[in-house]
Structure 1
């Protein structure tokens, strides 16, 4: 087996009212460097990752093993060195990136020849929804639908003509906690209004009307009104970003990170301004990753 690497981008889901269905990839990456070995060894080389975890308890290994067994294969022993730019439990798709990493690891070392459709299906089976999974795998912006018969359909957009700014706080928020504050049911009136807003966001993005998209992103009724209380400064961040030129600012995934769309070329200036105000946050101007998950072979001469 030749040495190889797997690189998977971060992702942001929902973008306001696209709840569990709309995601985009961002240029922060989880990377695995894989070599053949006599026994399994997984090494972490990033301050964002926890201390060394026994292989049998490692999330990526467990996903890889599960994927291999799904095809009646056994994982051959490997040494895997893991690095990442993606902060954990911040709403930037760290879990989905790890899931895709495990699926792709099994795909490569077991020669499974999985299709993109199979990878999205396997990832969604694990995550429960396809938004982060599809974005991390395909890159760009992905609009997904998981139907009652467990079928996944999607539209993939290569690019949006916007800058992206993220506001990453120094505390974690588990997805389970963010789910607990959501109502079990919405009335017909609430559902109709919420889905209309979501439809308009997608239509505005497709047509390039980013001002309208930003306006409607901030009017979500599915989850933001309930999760706002979990994020200190939620309303202040949205207002300050808007006053400095952002189209709109919403919670990234389940939070606590928030994300803005801004006019092309203005993201860095807005980010610099917001960083001076948000001293307890890491504020960054990012770009939308267009490649998604990538495998690169290392040929040793």
Structure 2
């Protein structure tokens, strides 16, 4: 049995939607899965290969771990595996590389079991990180609203306004979600929480129907300022873009900067030295499996 799982990068938070908003982007990892008689072989190509990321090639590889967990949940035995991971999503940059690997592994497990993707797939994916924003975006595509109640995770997919053309500015430096979460205070002023809640509500309208409201809708007082010391250059770029009227925010845990434009380009007067700038369309397809 041989098939390929293609999964999109994602951007999370989008300003005020901390752990709640996600969007799939047109940058993809592809994992070729081949069932063998015994053993495990993992090849990592491009991002994460060799010294670039130190990605493991044994049972601790995130795709393998997720695949095994899905297989266990579905009650199937997996014989030997040969995985070829063609990685385009940069690691530790705030573009959901870990969530994409988890989704790829879980969907591979479902494919091996001959089972349709269901709500339990999202539960499995979200359990890895404790929140569902990136995983839901990679799994479903489009713009997602994610939340949890008790020990269950939920997500709804919305269609973003077609006028929105995301642009990402990716620096060479890396960031750790665990480290940046450690910069967040245990409590914030009530006024800041109320401000951010209002902007999050506005963001749903702006992202789906009124993109002219995106600049105001991407304001945040809940997390970005607290984490700015972890990536000063990215924080500076966000400020510069917003001063030019561009709806910019830190992508996920950073340090990538997300700009929600309607032109697909950044203003010429903004200094992007040290960043690789690319327009990435919204991926509307979600995770895909092809055979052969």
Asked whether 1:292 is paired with 2:286, we answer yes
2:79 alignment counterpart = 76
| TM-score, reference length from structure 1 | 0.88
What secondary structure does 1:41 align onto? strand
Deviation at residue 51 of structure 1 after TM alignment: 5.3
Which deviates further from its counterpart, 45-54 or 116-125?
45-54
Asked whether 1:213 is paired with 2:214, we answer yes
Contact 1:68 1:106 (8 Å CA) reproduced: yes
Unaligned runs of 5+ in 1: none
RMSD of aligned alpha carbons: 2.1
Asked whether 1:27 is paired with 2:26, we answer yes
Unaligned runs of 5+ in 2: none
1:258-277 → structure 2 map (5 Å cutoff): 258-263=257-262, 266-268=263-265, 270=266, 277=271
2:180 alignment counterpart = 178
| Change in CA separation of 1:272 and 1:295 when aligned onto 2, cut-off 3 Å | farther
Aligned length: 288
2:194 counterpart (169, 192, 195) = 192
Asked whether 1:226 is paired with 2:221, we answer no
Deviations 1:211-268 (A, max 9, x none): 3222230x2011111112222234541344346563x1000001011100111xx214
Which deviates further from its counterpart, 3-12 or 116-125?
116-125
1:1-301 → structure 2 map (5 Å cutoff): 1=1, 3-38=2-37, 39-49=39-49, 50=53, 53-111=56-114, 113-148=115-150, 150-157=152-159, 159-207=161-209, 209-217=210-218, 219-242=219-242, 246=246, 248-263=247-262, 266-268=263-265, 270=266, 277-298=271-292
Deviation at residue 57 of structure 1 after TM alignment: 2.2
Deviations 1:81-135 (A, max 9, x none): 1111100010000010011011011111233x14331211111122211110110
